């Protein structure tokens, strides 16, 4: 081409040999500049594509991080991991197998891109098949051509319909423990580069973190539940011990707790508040442990001095229970159930809504149960007489709003009443 251009110039302009040489140099230089420019554009475009690919993958990792931080639904998080793996690694299908701690067996929990359900019934022991081998040996397993490789996949008649060719598996490891395996499949022959393999292992690490995060939360939740159950059994034991101390009030704690919980639900309190209220009701008289038997079980009226001692039992209850953080939210009833709406109660003389709501609810249940049970100093009242007494003390001893709710309470449904 360059010679043609030179010949044309020679013919048209009748150039000398020296002129022809100069023209050839100019033509060669222009051609080289064009080639260099094309190469430069190509390199720059490849660089831009690589940067964009890396940005996309970083965005994917960020999406997984956000899923881990914002959700404790493991299946949802792992499905997001699968979605990003397929998108960024350009695979045809992917799944995640988790190790069941009790059996040490790998089981399918999430996947996408499959034509059949062949792999959803996966149950592999560590060291068994490709995924089991990846978990057991803690390394990436690769099979360039599944069709020519002896693999357990071929045992499934359905798996043949998947038409997979290339396979990779990476162990999901966090804090030194293998949590499962990430598997990816190609339906064509594929030989990924080192960058692809790095991202594959990075996604496996993210999946491991997601699994560990949810597992830690579930373990903590289970421990908290077990601790709560243990505390509640202990509280019930304390309550029964208090009742057994005075046979004439046996069952009092259970009855007043049942009435209090029913009233609280009718007033719209949440289950968390009701749980604290229930514990407080069961322990309402725990402070009587500090009262001498000569006063607590006296058959006749108490003297003024004896009353001063008796009125200390809410303070004793507070001092006994406050060191237990779990019972902080249950203190209102043991400490305040003898406060009165008009301020005439004890130990602090609280008035109206200064009295915690739990204590205002419990006060009605406590007085009703006390009036309808025999005491050393008087016989039990009828339910109707006790209810009438509570109505007459509305706005004096009791919160008027709670009394209105009490009017609608079905007392026949309360056990042993």
| 115 token code pair | 């034509």
Sequence ranges of the domains in the chain = 2-52, 71-219, 246-413
Decide if 164 contacts 93 (C-beta within 8 A): yes
Those residues whose C-beta lies under 8 Å from the C-beta of residue 49, and which sit 6 or more positions away, are: none
Q: Quick check: 337 and 314 in contact, CB under 8 A?
A: yes
Beta-strand pair 177-186/93-100: antiparallel
Q: Give the pLDDT confidence score for residue 223 in this predicted structure.
A: 78
State pLDDT tens for residues 198-246: 989 988 988 888 888 888 877 777 777 777 788 788 887 777 777 776 6
Calculate the alpha carbon distances from 111 to 30, 134, 415 in Å.
56, 18, 52
**CATH architecture of residue range(s) 246-413:** Orthogonal Bundle (1.10)
Q: Give the model's pLDDT for residue 358.
A: 96
Say if strands 141-143 and 105-112 run parallel, antiparallel, or are unpaired: unpaired
Q: What is the pLDDT of residue 234?
A: 80
Which residues does the chain have with pLDDT short of 70? 1-72, 149-157, 245-250, 376-377, 412-417
Contact 368, 384 (CB under 8 A): no
CATH topology of domain 71-219: Beta-Lactamase (3.30.450)
**Side-by-side strand order, sheet with 166-174:** 123-125, 105-112, 93-100, 177-186, 166-174, 141-143
Q: What pLDDT was estimated at residue 63?
A: 63
């Amino acid at each position: 081409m360059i010679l043609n251009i030179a010949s044309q110039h020679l013919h048209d302009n009748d150039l000398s040999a020296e002129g022809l040489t100069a023209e050839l140099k100019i033509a060669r230089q222009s051609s080289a500049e064009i080639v260099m420019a094309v190469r430069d554009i190509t390199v720059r475009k490849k660089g831009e594509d690589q940067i964009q690919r890396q940005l996309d993958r970083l965005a994917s990792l960020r999406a997984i991080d956000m899923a881990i931080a914002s959700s404790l639904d493991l299946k949802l998080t792992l499905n997001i991991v699968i979605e990003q793996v397929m998108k960024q690694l350009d695979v045809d299908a992917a799944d995640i197998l988790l190790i069941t701690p009790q059996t040490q067996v790998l089981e399918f929990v999430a996947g996408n891109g499959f034509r059949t359900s062949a792999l959803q019934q996966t149950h592999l022991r560590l060291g068994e098949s490709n995924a089991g081998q990846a978990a057991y040996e803690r390394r990436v397993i690769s099979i360039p051509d599944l069709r020519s490789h002896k693999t357990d996949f071929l045992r499934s008649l359905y798996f043949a319909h998947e038409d997979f060719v290339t396979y990779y598996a990476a162990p999901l490891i966090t804090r030194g423990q293998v949590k499962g395996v990430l598997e990816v499949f190609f339906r064509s022959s594929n030989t990924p580069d080192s960058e692809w393999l790095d991202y594959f292992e990075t996604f496996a690490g993210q999946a491991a973190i997601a699994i560990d995060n949810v597992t830690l939360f579930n373990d903590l939740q289970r421990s908290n539940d077990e601790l709560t159950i243990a505390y509640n059994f202990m509280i019930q034991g304390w309550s029964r011990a208090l009742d057994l101390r005075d046979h004439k009030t046996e069952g009092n704690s259970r009855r007043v707790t049942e009435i209090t919980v029913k009233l609280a639900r009718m007033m719209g309190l949440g289950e968390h508040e009701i749980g604290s209220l229930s514990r407080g009701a069961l322990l309402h008289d725990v402070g009587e442990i500090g009262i001498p038997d000569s006063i607590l079980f006296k058959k006749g009226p108490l003297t003024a001095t004896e009353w001063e001692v008796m009125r200390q039992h809410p303070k004793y209850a507070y001092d006994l229970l406050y060191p237990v953080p779990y019972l902080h939210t249950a203190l209102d009833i043991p400490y305040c159930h003898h406060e009165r709406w008009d301020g005439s109660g004890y130990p602090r003389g609280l008035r109206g809504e200064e009295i915690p709501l739990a204590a205002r609810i419990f006060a009605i249940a406590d007085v009703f149960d006390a009036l309808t049970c025999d005491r050393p100093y008087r016989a039990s009242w009828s339910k109707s007489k006790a209810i009438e007494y509570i109505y007459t003390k509305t706005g004096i001893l009791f919160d008027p709003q709670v009394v209105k709710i009490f009017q609608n309470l079905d007392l026949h449904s309360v056990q042993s009443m």
